[in-house]
Amino acid sequence: MKKVYVDEKWCLGCHLCEYNCAFANSGISNMVKALKNKPIYPRVHIEESDKITYAVSCRHCEDPICVKSCISGALSIKDGVICIDHDKCIGCLTCILVCPYGAVAQGENGVVQKCELCLENSCGSPACVAGCPNNAIIYEER
């Protein structure tokens, strides 16, 4: 299955992936309209330490603890992709606590959001990958 992988060797820490992610999931066709003067809630975020930068997003684990720990059944696996049903999420944040990667976060409206590989939005493939200027984020079969 194709997944998003990150090579910190090439990550520049420019944070463009975050903006591309937030835009892709906004449902709005214009980036300025979607993001201007608003806090953004991307599903990928850059972690930085000692000049190393790394774009963190859901690893789509084969045996995901988040899914196991979800008390409302909002998290599920569809064809290998870990998906979230926003209507079922009750915002208990257990998944955030258990995710070893810190790839799950609270969204704008209180419920949890996470990377779903842009399969559910209009992009069809991860926007962070398409917008990365240095091929640091790649979407491929391994």
Partner 1 sequence: MQNIYINPEFEVIRNENRCIKCRVCERQCANEVHSYDADLNLLISDETKCVNCQRCVSLCPTKALKIVKNDCRLRENANWSDSTIKEIYKQASSGGVLLSSMGNPNPLPVYWDKILINASQVTNPPIDPLREPMETKVFLGKKPEKVQRDKNGNLICNTPPQLELSMPVMFSAMSYGSISYNAHASLARAATELGILYNTGEGGLHEDFYCYGKNTIVQVASGRFGVHKDYLEAGAAVEIKMGQGAKPGIGGHLPGAKIVGDVSRTRMIPEGSDAISPAPHHDIYSIEDLRQLVFSLKEATEYQKPIIVKVAAVHNIAAIASGIARSGADIIAIDGFRGGTGAAPTRIRDNVGIPIELALASVDSRLREEGIRNNVSLVVGGSIRSASDVVKAIALGADACYIATAAVLALGCHLCRTCQTGKCNWGIATQNPELVKRLNPDIGSQHLINLMTAWKHEIKELMGGMGINSIEALKGNRLMLRGVGLNDRELSILGISHAGE
Total residues in contact with partner 1, by rule CB under 8 A = 22
**DSSP letter at 117?**
T
Rounded Cα–Cα distance for residues 17 and 118 (Å): 13
The smaller minimum CB distance to partner 1, of residues 82 and 132, is found at 132
Could you give the string, one character per residue 46-75, with x where binding to partner 1 holds by CB under 8 A and - elsewhere? -----x------------------------
Q: How many residues does the chain have?
A: 142
13 binds partner 1 (CB under 8 A): yes
Query: Do the beta carbons of residue 17 and residue 42 sit within 8 Å?
Result: yes
Q: Which residue has the tokens 């049903």?
A: 85
**CB count, 10 Å around CB of 7?**
13
Give residue 137's identity as a one-letter amino acid code.
I
The distance of closest approach from Cβ of residue 116 to partner 1 in the complex, given in angstroms and rounded to an integer, is: 21
Among 14, 65, 81, 98, binds partner 1 (CB under 8 A): 14
107 binds partner 1 (CB under 8 A): no
Stretch of residues binding partner 1 (CB under 8 A), selected from 13-21, 71-79, 96-104, 113-121: 13-21
